[in-house]
Amino acid sequence: MAVKRDSRRLFALLTPGTVFLGIFFLGPLAVMVVFSFLEPGLYGGVEWNFYHWNYGRILGWADGEWEDFDPVYAEIFFRSVRLALTNVAITLLICYPAALWVSGLSARWRTFVVFIVTLPFFVSLVVRLFCWVLILRPSGFLSSTLLGLGLISEPIDIIYTETAVLIGMAYILLPFMFLPLYASIEKLDHSLVEASYDLGANPYQTFLRVILPSTLPGIAAGSVLVFIPSLGNFIVPDLLGGAKVLMIGNLVEQQFLSARNWPFGSALSVMIMLVMFLLIVIYLRRIGRSEIVR
């Protein structure tokens, strides 16, 4: 009797979430995968025929018939991967020493600093990027200040370059790197560090042999969490990169909102999703799921 009632309660608790996520989360992803195998119609719609050239087009073969080999999309794809990897490296270099610094503070300061580092994460993305638009424009803060100080003689133009995109991406994704790193550095056993020093190791050796290996799970988690949103980002390259630094996210947006080639856009989107799944699977195999499901 008790078991029966218990299973009825479980059923009642699970049903709303299952039905909602089944229809409105898994459903749309499935429809998107189906769309990525349909033929784009002449005037923006889709033809319900099986068509795999949407994927061929990403690599450069447009339709196998009358369009020439053109690797422009492959270039954009690899640029996105390159920028996303660079962004992982930048955030890691910024956040690792910062996390070490925070973990060495007194308990009260530690809580406070973690709080103020997390706080800007809750500010709207568009507001945080607007800050950088204001700073990096030719008539912006950086240029005006340097001009005012007499350090440069004419306005500098950083916006609409890869540098600007990397600054913007690093800025909005910092917490995703900082928090996992901090979590694993906090767990670090300080007696190991002391032991390493006692045995005559210098700071460099101690870092390389003791601190770094035991914080690898944090580095891996942070890298995955920064890489995934960097790869598919389209707001940052749109506001800070302009037309010069197109990324795969901009391409997807164009296919849906201006070029109206939905199957090709879906195929690009599926590619981003596959990269994500691949990374998560590698991560779970290597590091284990206990780190992710906190």
Partner 1 sequence: MRHPWLRRLLDFHGLLFLFFVYAPIIIVVVYSFNSHPVNMMVWKDFTFDWYLSIFGNPTKLNEQTLYVESTDQLLAAVKNSLLVASTTTAFSTIVGTATALAVYRHHFRLKPFYQGLLFMPMVMPDIVLGIALLVFFVNFGIKLGLFSIIIGHCTFLISYVFVVVSARLAGMDDTLEQASADLGANPWITFRRVTLPQILPGIVGGALLAFIISMDDLVITYFIAGVDSTTLPVFIYGMLRRGVKPEINAIATLMLVFSFVIASLGLYFRKRT
Q: Which of residues 84-113 bind partner 1 (CB under 8 A)?
A: 94-95, 97-98, 100-102, 104, 113
Instruction: Give long-range contacts, CB 8 A cutoff, 24+ apart: 42-50.
Output: 44/260, 44/261, 44/262, 46/262, 46/263
Q: 40 φ, ψ to 5°?
A: -65, 135
Whole-angstrom distance, CA of residue 163 vs CA of residue 161:
5
Cβ proximity to partner 1, 62 vs 94, nearer residue:
94
| Residue 173 buriedness (CB in 10 A; 0-12 / 13-18 / 19+) | buried
Site string for partner 1, 173-202 (x = CB under 8 A): -x----------------------x-----
| Of positions 1, 3, 42, 127, contacts partner 1 by CB under 8 A | 127
Amino acid at position 216, single letter: L
Instruction: Give me the least distance between CB of 66 and partner 1, in Å please.
Output: 27
239 touches partner 1 by CB under 8 A: yes
Decide if residue 231 touches partner 1 (CB under 8 A): yes
Compare residues 73 and 262 and give the one whose CB is closer to partner 1: 262
Contact status, residue 207 vs residue 259, Cβ threshold 8 Å? no
Residues near partner 1 (CB under 8 A), total? 83
Alpha-carbon separation of residue 270 from 25, 141, 225, 240, 254 (angstroms): 14, 39, 18, 25, 16
| Interacting positions 10-39 with partner 1 (CB under 8 A) | 10, 13-14, 16-17, 20-21, 24-29, 31-32, 35
Q: Smallest distance from the beta carbon of 52 to partner 1, in angstroms?
A: 18
- Residue 249 makes contact with partner 1 by CB under 8 A: yes
